[in-house]
Every structure is written in C-alpha cells, then in structure tokens.
Amino acid sequence: MFTIDADRGQVTREITTEDSYTMMKRSRYICAATTSGTVNMLDPNTFKVIKTWKAHAAAISDMDAQNNFLVTCGYSPRHQQSFMLDPLANVYDLRMLRPLPPIPFHAGAAFVRMHPKMSTTSIVASQSGQLQVVDLMNPNTVNLRQANVSSYLTTLELAPSGDALALADADCSIHLWGSPEKLRFSEFSNPTELPDVPASLPPIEWTAETLVLLSILSGLLKSPNITPHVRPLSSIGLPHYREQLLSAWPSHLVFEVGNPPAKIDPDILIAMTPTEFGGWAPNPRKTRRNQVENTRIIDKASVPLMAPKFLSEKARESAVTSGNERRASDVGDALGDASASGLKADVPVMYRSVEIKYSKFGVDDFDFEFYNKTKYSGLEIHIANSYSNPLLQLFKFTPLLRNLALHHTATNCLTETCLLCEMGFLFDMLDKAGGQNCQATNFLKTFSSIPQAGALGLLEEDSPNSSLALMIQAVNRFLLERISIDYKHVLPQSPLLDQTLATVALTGIRCVKCNSETVRPGSTYNTGKSHPRNPRLSFSQILKASVERENQTRGWCDKCRRYQSLATRKSIQDIPHVLMINAAVNSPEAKELWAAPGWLPEEIGVIIEGGQFFCYEGEDLQLHLQRGIHYITVYELVGLVADINSGENQASHLVSLVNVRKVTKEEALEFSPSWKAPSVLAYQVKTASNAVDNSWKEKLDTSLLYFDYSLNQRNTSRGYHLLSPQTEAPHAGTHVAIDAEFVALQQEEIEIKADGSRETIRPSRLGLARVSVLRGSGIDEGLPFIDDYIVTNEPVVDYLTAFSGIRAGDLDPKRSEHNLVPLKVAYKKLWLLLNLGCVFVGHGLPKDFRTINIHVPKNQVIDTVDLFFIKSRQRKLSLRFLSWFLLKEDIQLETHDSIEDARTALKLYRKYEEFQDAGILEPMLNDIYARGREVNYKAPSAQKTESGMVDRRDTPPILHERASAPKTPVKREASLSTGQHGQPWISGPGGYFTSPLR
C-alpha cells in the first residue's frame, strides 16, 4: 500500500501488507478486500488491521461502504463448476464490528452501491441486469427493476448526488438511469478555449528617429524637440489608447459606488434547517433593529495572517506520515491572500501582525517556529502591555545597555521593583533561548506594579485608545530614568551608568523681562526630536536643534519678585555612549521628510565644544575625521522601533529593526508615510560595536543561596536546610531536583460557537506559588535546600489545591506558616543555579520553566518524562504511574507536594541510570508500557490508613518476578548512614541513594 501526497504528487509512505488487496473503500475504517474473500478493517491513521471479516468463500466481486455499513458481493465454489456468484449480499456493521443479516438476491449479486444521501439504502445488481433497491434496516422491503441490456453488465456506478445510475455492459454501451427532471447530463463536453493568436508586430526600422523614440520612453530625453518626420510610437509595437486610463486618474476623481450586499452570518448557515422554499435558522441578533452594516468595511477587516497548524495537530500528522517537513500549502495558508485581507498592498508580510491562536493545550501549542527561523528569540505578544516588546529587544541588542543590565543583575540587588534586574533576567533568557519564543511576563508584571507607570498612562488598560508610537516613546523615557534609579541604589558612586546613558548639561533659565539668568546642573537620559517646518533640514541639524532647544515657560523670577516668562536653554557638557532618541513624527511634513531615501544616516559624529552641541553626517563627517582638528565621537545606528500601520480598520503595531540580520540598508531605513514611521532610535559609539561583556558570569553574588530570606516571621520550623558554602557550593554539573506549584491568577476565556465548538480566546494565567529544590547528589541527596512560597499582590482566582497543594492563606504573610518570599527572590535563586551550571532534574519541566519565565538549555535539563518515553507510543507517562510501577511508592494520594514530586523524579533518574548501566533500558521501557496498557496508564487507587500507612489496592508485581521482564542488576546490601543534619538515609554503592526513612 502507498500513501500519496496529492498536492505534491509524491509517494510519502510505503506500507507492507500481509494480504493482497483487490479493492478498497473508506468510511469509518479503510475496508480492504483480499483475494481470499475476506475484508480487513484498517485504522485510517496507523493502517493496522482492526478486524477481519470472512465475507465470501472464494473472492469479492464488488463492495461499497457508507457511514456505518459495508455491503459486499462475491463468489463461492460450486460442485463440478468453478465459481458462482453468491445469492446473498453480505452486510457488516462498521460501528459495532459485527455482521448483520444479509440481503437475499437470487439472481446472483455482482455489483453493489450505497446511496450517498440515504445512509441505509443500497442498490444491488446482477450480471443479467436485475437491480434491487433495499433498505439495510428492513431487508424485506425490496424494489426490483430490470435493465434492458443486450449482453451482461460489467460495472455499475452511482452519481455522487444519488440522482443518476450508470450501467456499462459488455458491448461497451453505457445506460443512464434517472429522473428526467433531476438528471443533468451533457452529451458533449465544453469546447476547449484556446488563446487568441497575437497579431504580428510590424517590422522596426532602426533609424535615428527610432532611437529618439526609445530615448523618450526610457526618460533619457526630458524635453525632446519632435520634428514632423519622426515616426509615431506605434511604429515600434506599443499599444495606443484613445482616452485616459483609469489608473491615471487622480484619486479625488475615483469614487466607490454602491454597497456590497451583506453576507449571511456563518452561525446562521451552520444552524440552517432546510425546507421546501429555502431554510430557516434562529437570528443571533448581532445588530440592532433597522441597523445596516457597512459591508465595505467588513470586507476589508480580516485577519492579517492566518495562524499555522497547532503543534499537537502536526504531531498527529507526523505519526501517520513519515515526512515531517512543512507543506507549501501550509505556508500559503498562513500568509493568506494579501489582496483579500484588507491590508495595504505595500506592507510586506514580515512587517504584519501575527495573531496567536490557542488550542486546548494553551499557548504552548502554538507554532512560533513557523514565523522565526533565526537564532534570535522573539517575545510573545499575548501578555498585557507587551506593546513594549520591540523597545526591550532594542535595549537587548544595544551592547552597552545589555552589559549594564546583566552586570547589575549579578549583584545582590533584591529590590522587588528593580526594572534593571528584570531586564537582565530577560536579556539572559533571550540569549539562552537561541531562537525559541520567550515571554517578558516577569518584567511586565514588575513594570505594571510601579505606580508611576499607571500615573503616566503607560499601561494598556489605562490608555486603550492611545497611540502606540507616543506610548512607546513615553516608556522609553520612563525606563531610562527608572534604570538609573535602580542602578544607583546598589552602586551610588559608580559613574558607569552616567557614562553610558546620561547627557550632562547645564540648564540656563533666563527671565525675558529683566534678562537675569540662573544656571542649574542637570542630566537627561533621553533626547526628544522635533521637526521644524523647514523640510530641507538634515537629520543632524534637527538633532542639534532638539538638543539645544529653547523653551519658554511661566515661572518665578527672584529679581522681579513676580511670575514672568522664563526662557530655558541647555548647554551640553558631555554626551553618553548611547543616544536614545525619540522620533516625534506627528505631522504629514515630518512623514514626508522621513520618507526621503537615505535621510536617516547610519553614522553621525558629535563634537562638544564650549557648551555647544555639533552634529555631522555623510561627507561632513568624513571631512572632520580626515582633518582631525576637533575630537569627534562617532555613533552608529544600532536599531530602531517603528510604528506599522497595516491598513484601514487594522490596529497599528510596533516592530523593532536591529542591526543583526543581513538586511539591506535601503529596506531597514526605508520609511513610508502610509504604513511605516520611526518611533525610537538607538545610536551607540562605534568603538563599542559588538562589545558584549559576559564577565558577569564570573562575578555572580551567590550569597542569596546561603541566606535564609523570609517575609514570614512565624516560620519557626523549616522543612529544608540551606546549602553550606564551604562544602556544598553549586558548580557546573551539580545535579539538583526541582518541582514547582502554581495557582490561577486569571481564568481562561472561552467562546462557544453556534455549532457547539469551543475556541479559547485567552488562556488561563498561572502564577508561581511554590518552588522546591533538592540536593541531587552527596550524602544528603534528596534533602531540600529551597522550599519557598511566593507572596503575590494579585488576587488568586483558584488555588488549584487538588493539583498544587496550596490552600487559602498559604501565600498571605499575615496567616501563612510557610517560608514566604517575593517572586524576585525565588526567581533569582533559580537564576543563580542556572548560571552556575547546575543540571535540573524533574518531571515535566518545560511547562514549569515557562510559567516561571526562565529558559534552561537542554544540556542542563534531565526530564524523567523524556527518559521513560517511547516516541512511537505517543504517550508520556505520569509521575505517579512511574513511581507506583518502578519505585513501588504511592505519591500524590490527597494532593501534590513539590518536595515529594522532586524527590520522586530524582529517584526515577537514578533508576534510569541503573537500567542504562545494566543495558536493560529498552526492554524495561517496553515492560513499563505493557503494564501501562493494562491499567490504562494510571496508578491504582490507594489511601492512607489511620496509622498513616498506605493501603495499596493493587500492588504491581516485582519486576524480576515477571517472566517477561528483564532482570534488574543485583546491588550490594544498602547501609544505613546519617545525613549532614542528623537524618537517617539509605545509601548504596555507586552513588545510588533512595528516599529517606519515614
């Protein structure tokens, strides 16, 4: 058997079958007839035989399947003869997988067809032309007909509509049966449409006059003097027009006439009940009475980019087909038809907005890799206030800003609202992700919790209709000032931040009335750009005017002793290594100025002399560099944030362009008044190009790992013991076991359509509630050294106690008896372990890490889900089942406990090492899955008795007692030893340790 991709016309899979098939029909199963008279029911996904039915004794002449029924006709051997047609048409129920009463047909059933519209009606025919229409559910009701054929029938076929029946006989004649009113049959095919024969062009005589005409067409001659003897343009084959083309009409003369008819709501069509005169359906009433829809806008407003298939769908498809490459049709479906999407035709696909879809598995099921094939990670946009993602990407790809954030994060800063630390966490995650999608959840949560951000209107919920271009510029100013405060909170005397971001200036305040002037020192972290009315100014001239701009405000004059008009002007003393510039593109004149090719320079040079700011670009910059008279600082453009207007009725969005990909300068620096305008620019000194400093990894302040930080003073007894900095300092390769518990901060939003299908509008949002980390080796293996409960300021909508073990009050500092810490403290502990090179052992860690908002490279993760997994089985095993089967332990009896789960995962990893060392891993995995099928991959129920012991309802047999199970290697007797903190442990040779004694 072969599976064929009809789009590509290629054989995608070859399947070896035990039987030889003569015909196949597909309904609930693939029904394949064999040469021996049996029918195999094949699974349409795996092509495995589900059921075999002996339909006829010798062979099958014809069969058909429809809905839940299969009808066959065949041969049986007779005495003193070869084979004869059976006088019965056998019926089989595909739903129950059992035969039904056959259909008697004394003339010999040779052909059979199921009616396409009447699911229980079949048509059986003999070779002599006798036809029988019978209801499978009532075989006694028969309608007989006789076809007038001169010879025997060779085949029978039924139209897909059920209105016509075609009979073919041995004389090569086709007999068409059907109602004349319903039958639509064309005796002759449509004539073939052939292209028109193009008229031959007249021969061209290459003379001086012809060259003049070609020069006019190519624009080489702007004002030629056409003499009377010059030949017309039609002489060289150009078409001529007697009137002006519509494409040449001015826009004010083109109008849209008429209104397209309103389309019927798809919900109405789905629920439509057909009648004799049409159909009826309930009115969903999405509009008010007598309200008319603007169908022209509706036609234009559609989804910019269609989402690709979910990962779960592709996993199911890859299980059926051996090839896992993406089809060209999938790419075309995702990109969509630009002309019909309502977007502007000149907006490239790569600039358009991507809509994230959710399946029942949440956002984890979305195929982000479909849109990103690079090694640079993108940030997800389904989170609140994620409009700032492009600015964060711009900060990350500015080396000096990145170095500043990461070096600060490596210090002992524990301020909960420190945005500079959150930037460092985010930048490190983007570096480690290497192209995988990331999310700025923790950064945006901290950003939203700062009161000044809400007061300035920087949060989306507070400014739903504000321009994103103006909001991102305000965020740029806010973040630069905020990270300055955060940096100086830890290193108040360090000049590094001022050298990187601060423009040192003196502000002169002059009274317009008395001309008295006061000079005050001041530093700014952002340069605002305004556009004068003169559109001929260069970028450097406008930047100079923006830096040295003079403003007039109303203020108090000490000399006049009254309020007067005050003129303020800045005198620049020093410039930073990074220039963050807000491009205030607010007028049509400014947009036209930016649209000029090459107006934004890649490099600028700045000279500070006598408190004045001089800026140069292009040839002027090169001239100053050649002279070498003045000290000039050269800046290069690192990247920018641009505002993209996708079209009418489409919300604008922001994108970042950074100098990391091989994109032409013309494409990156090209702006259009209609759809692309700059918002934020980033220039950095050219001498610091690609100056990535990773020395912070050797300067990590790890004191937090050995310090008992707690917000809860009631916590008198702890279930964990801190690491010893002298003997247990983590290093590269140190194994630690981890598990985390979460609570729901926001319920998922689901839309139920008219057909009953469910679509996730917004998935549920989880928050970290508890994280436990255990020692993974040594004499105290399995002993926790981190067991933090995370306090949250957001309301918890569901504690998920059955799955998390968290109860109301556990996260409240006033009521909790547990060790409560802020989210940043718990996160930084994990971040320190990550960058120290620790290897995390756990069960189902990718989802935990995603919710925690940390990215751990694959070489630092040991996930027991993947260790005990056979890819071809497509089923991953739960921690409780593996513990019950391999460790003979019942866990998660009443609820989940992160210490118990982490310790169990560590034991499973040691068990895996044991199987691998003994060379029995593969048979053990097969035995695990075999036992899993017996119990439906669930550990049998167990409960605790009054004495605290576990009453096991169904204890799995000892592996080495099962005949089919491989033998577990025998180890020496375990010896009882005492842990570091006086707790008894069972240890064995080879570094294998089991759980502590209860």
Locate 878 and state its tokens: 């739960």
**Is 741 marked within a binding site?**
yes
Locate 666 and state its tokens: 């013309």
Locate 315 and state its tokens: 């996993």
Contacts of 936 (CB under 8 A, 6+ apart): none
Q: How many CA atoms lie within 13 A of 743 on its CB side?
A: 22
- Distance separating alpha carbons of residues 690 and 692, to the nearest angstrom: 6
Instruction: Give me the DSSP letters along 890-956.
Output: ---SSS--HHHHHHHHHHHHHHHHHHHHHT-HHHHHHHHHHHHHHTTT-PPPEEE-TTS-EEESSPP
Element (H, E) at 521: strand 517-524
Degrees, nearest 5: CA angle 683-688-693: 120
Long-range contacts at 470-475 (CB < 8 A, ≥ 24 apart): 471/387, 472/387, 472/388, 472/390, 472/391, 472/641, 472/643, 472/654, 472/679, 472/680, 473/582, 473/584, 473/679, 473/680, 475/388, 475/391
Please provide the size of the chain in residues.
998
Asked if residues 35 and 18 have their Cβ atoms less than 8 Å apart, the reply is no
Long-range contacts at 804-807 (CB < 8 A, ≥ 24 apart): 804/741, 804/742, 804/743, 804/769, 804/770, 804/895, 804/896, 805/741, 805/770, 805/895, 805/896, 805/897, 805/898, 806/741, 806/743, 806/769, 806/770
3-state SS class at 272: coil
**Is 355 marked within a binding site?**
no
**Is 739 marked within a binding site?**
yes
Alpha-carbon Rg for the chain, nearest whole angstrom, is 39
- Distance separating alpha carbons of residues 462 and 495, to the nearest angstrom: 36
Degrees, nearest 5: CA angle 923-927-930: 140
> DSSP letter at 588?
H
Locate 513 and state its tokens: 């009335």
CA 354, 359, 364, 370 dihedral sign is negative
Nearest to 998 by CA among 951, 949, 944, 926: 949
3-state SS class at 144: strand
One-letter identity of residue 985: W
Element (H, E) at 978: strand 975-978
Contacts of 717 (CB under 8 A, 6+ apart): none
Alpha helices in 379-440 (DSSP H): 389-396, 399-409, 419-433
- Distance separating alpha carbons of residues 209 and 226, to the nearest angstrom: 9
Q: Exposure string (b/e) for 121-151, b if CB count within 10 Å is 16 or more?
A: bbbbbbbebbbbbbbbeebeeeeeeebebee
Asked if residues 271 and 281 have their Cβ atoms less than 8 Å apart, the reply is yes
Q: Kindly give the pairing relationship between strand 83-85 and strand 69-77.
A: antiparallel
Alpha helices in 714-852 (DSSP H): 801-804, 823-835, 845-852
Annotated binding-site ranges: 739, 741, 848, 901
Annotated binding-site ranges for a divalent metal cation: 739, 741, 848, 901
